[in-house]
Amino acid sequence: MKGERLGEFEEIVLLGLRSVGAGGSALDVKDSLLEIAGRNASLGSLYNVFDRLERKGLVTSRVGAAPAGGGRPRRCYELTGAGTRALEEAQDVRQRLWARG
């Protein structure tokens, strides 16, 4: 376990969630990872990571409203303040490391 630090996949998932915006579902994040990062993550692995991120307090989830076109309500995720900070911190670390090289 990586304590409060972000793992690589965790970071990518958080970034994916950030790109789809608040209220994105696991399926939306899956799509965005495929589109932006070319990475085909399975729903199972995403649920697993979201569970972990939620325990760390980096995201929150709730069951959203039913979609306008009909259908059943989906579970939506949202970055918390701590989540946003963790992402910024990770970006910071990377930029500093790149700057050294």
Where along the sequence are the contacts to other proteins (CB under 8 A)? Answer: 1, 25-27, 42-45, 47-48, 51, 63, 71-75
Type of residue at 93: V
As given in the structure block, the two tokens for residue 88 are 């910024």
Residue 40 has a CB neighbour count (10 Å cut-off) of 8
Adjacent-strand bridge partners of 63: 75
Residue among 72 and 96 whose Cβ is closer to other proteins: 72
In angstroms, what is the minimal distance from the CB of 22 to other proteins?
17
Longest dimension (CA), the chain: 53
In angstroms, what is the minimal distance from the CB of 74 to other proteins?
5
Residue among 25 and 32 whose Cβ is closer to other proteins: 25
Residue 57 DSSP code: T
Residue among 26 and 58 whose Cβ is closer to other proteins: 26
